[in-house]
Amino acid sequence: MANIIDGKKIAEQVHAETALEVASLARNHNIQPGLAVVLVGEDPASAVYVNMKSKKSLELGIYSDKRVLDKNSTQDQVLAVVHELNNDPRIHGILVQSPPPPQIDETAIVMAIRPEKDVDCFHPVNVGKMLNGETDGFYPCTPHGIMVLLEKSGIDPAGKHAVIIGRSNIVGKPMMALLVQKAKGANATVTVCHSRTPNIAEYTRQADILIAAIGKPEFVTADMVKQGAVVIDVGINRVADKNAPKGHKLVGDVKYAEVAEKASWITPVPGGVGPMTIAMLMHNAVKACKMQNGL
């Protein structure tokens, strides 16, 4: 039976480290990190995420600026808010919640955020720095969180075969970039599978570390997993369950119960990768503050 990688517990460790850094900046430099979160529209799931990020900012002593714009806002109106935040010295990190309404060009919004405030790591400058192995930019929050989960669980990817299911710009591609780096905690051999990969199970059965980020409920079954593999489940899918109080439950991209019988380590859903995403966002906000103040 697999050991459980407790994302909640590890996220709290990261938050504790972040809180110490925030306190040190206040005590030694009279500086407070600032994070702005922009939400366009009232998508319920996005609103929950934005509120969680704002709440955690305040808990850690990070200045929080939450902007909620009407769902019918124009591109120019959203850009005006981004430009205002770019020029606000209290704000060191800017996040525009994805996805925005269809009339908004998300790429143009990302390009408008100053790279040194792009704490989501969507700007090409930060993506390029990540690919080059440079450390003076930001890493995307979810893949970076997975790297920290592995590190704090004593799992070293060096020399291992890591297989990623999914090639999104948010998880799959940056996950590949981080794992393959010539750096401590990386040095893996990486295979990326996706919707056009034939016979995905042929690849997943070779994985020492399997990362599922495909967005399909319980896609990975026990017969797709090598005995003793480390399994990281990035998926969060809502599925109907008449026995659940709300009529639905959350499951990952991995069929947890049966895969846990074969894996050496596994992340649960919820409580695995999810909490790390916010933890690394807060970490990035503090890093942005330090960089912008020459610290």
The catalytic site residues sit at 53, 97, 120
Q: What is the CA radius of gyration of the chain?
A: 19
Structure tokens at 245: 């109080």
Residue the block writes with tokens 């890093």: 287
CA distance 164 to 187: 15
State phi, psi for 3 to the nearest 5 degrees. Answer: -75, 140
How many residues make up the chain in this entry?
295
Cβ contact 91:117 at 8 Å: yes
- Which residue type sits at 125? V
Q: Which residues contact 153 (CB under 8 A, 6 or more apart)?
A: 3, 5, 10, 265
For residues 140 and 170, what is the distance between their CA atoms, to the nearest angstrom?
A: 7
Name the residue among 277, 288, 280, 278 with its Cα closest to residue 115. 288
Q: Where are the alpha helices (DSSP H) in 98-155?
A: 106-112, 124-132, 141-152
The whole-angstrom separation of Cα 52 and Cα 84 is 23
CB 208 within 8 Å of CB 161: yes
The answer to whether residues 279 and 18 touch, using CB atoms and an 8 Å cutoff, is yes
What backbone phi and psi angles, to 5 degrees, belong to 254?
-115, 135
Contact 33, 285 (CB under 8 A): yes
